[in-house]
Structure formats: structure tokens, C-alpha cells
Copies of this chain bind each other. A is one copy, B any other.
């Protein structure tokens, strides 16, 4: 019954398309080992319910994940995480690379001394990771979009 591993308390930002955020969510789970190669993932309907999104949106995310070879589906049984080593290895570096690239692109025109920049990142990173540690304790059931 409980294909739900930890899908509650997922927050979407109001700017990026939801289906892309779902894909990134899966990539993160895969990259960190929370989802293992060959492991079954929630059905489209389960995921839609758990993430509180529409079935069509979940389907769109899954469909694109299949095109990216992230997941595989045979027949009408639940989809599974790929076992393709190349794809798996690429995930983490892709997430990391696009994040770093986007960040640098965002501040490249600001003339920030590199050391100051790194210090800001370090401080924020450690702050956030401390918060994550606290969060891990409670079984929150909260969710919603971060619209402002």
C-alpha cells in the first residue's frame, strides 16, 4: 500500500513549471540514493495525489522522464528507475552543473569578489543544512506552493 516513501511535504516554487520541478525532484532522489536503480516508483495517480498535482501534470513529468531514460515502463505495471549506468552517473553532475551555471550566470554581472561570493555561499549553505537537520525530526504533513 505504502508506495509512499517521503512524498509529502514537497514544496513547489511558483515560477518554474510544476512538471519540471517534479522531474528535478526525482533526479535529486536518484542522485542521493533515496531512489535506487530498478526500484519501483509511485504510479501516476499515486504521485499526483501525494504531490497534490493533477494526474495530467504527473503524467507529463513521467513521460518526459521516460524520454530522458530516467525511468522505464513496461506494459501497465508501475514504472521503475533506470539501471542504465550512464544515465545514472549523468544525473548528479547535470543537477550540479546546471545549478552552478545558473547561479554564476545570475551574478556574473555584479562584480562580486570571488572570495566574498564563496563566503556567502558557504554561510547560506551551512545555514540551510542546519535547518534540514531539524526538519528531519518531525513527520510534517505540510505542503503547498510558495506563491507570494
Listed in ascending order, the chain A residues whose CB lies under 8 Å from chain B are: 15-16, 28, 31-32, 92, 95-96, 99-112, 114, 117-118, 120-122, 124-126, 128-129, 132
Q: How far is the CA of A130 from the CA of B114 in the complex (A)?
A: 13
Closest 5 CB pairs of A and B: A103-B103, A99-B106, A28-B109, A104-B124, A99-B107
Q: Are B121 and A103 in contact (CB under 8 A)?
A: yes
Which of B92, B96, B103 lies in contact with A102, CB distance below 8 A? B103
Contact B129 A110, beta carbon cutoff 8 Å: no
Contact residues of A: prevailing secondary structure:
helix
Give this chain's copy count.
2
Q: Are B110 and A106 in contact (CB under 8 A)?
A: no
> Judging by beta carbons under 8 Å apart, are B105 and A126 in contact?
no
How far apart are the CA atoms of A16 and B17 in the complex, in Å? 10
* Complex interface: chain B residues within 8 A of A125 (CB): 104, 108, 114, 117
Q: Known contacts A103-B103, A118-B118: does B124 contact A110 (CB below 8 Å)? A: no
Chain B residues lying within 8 Å of A114, measured Cβ to Cβ, are 122, 125-126
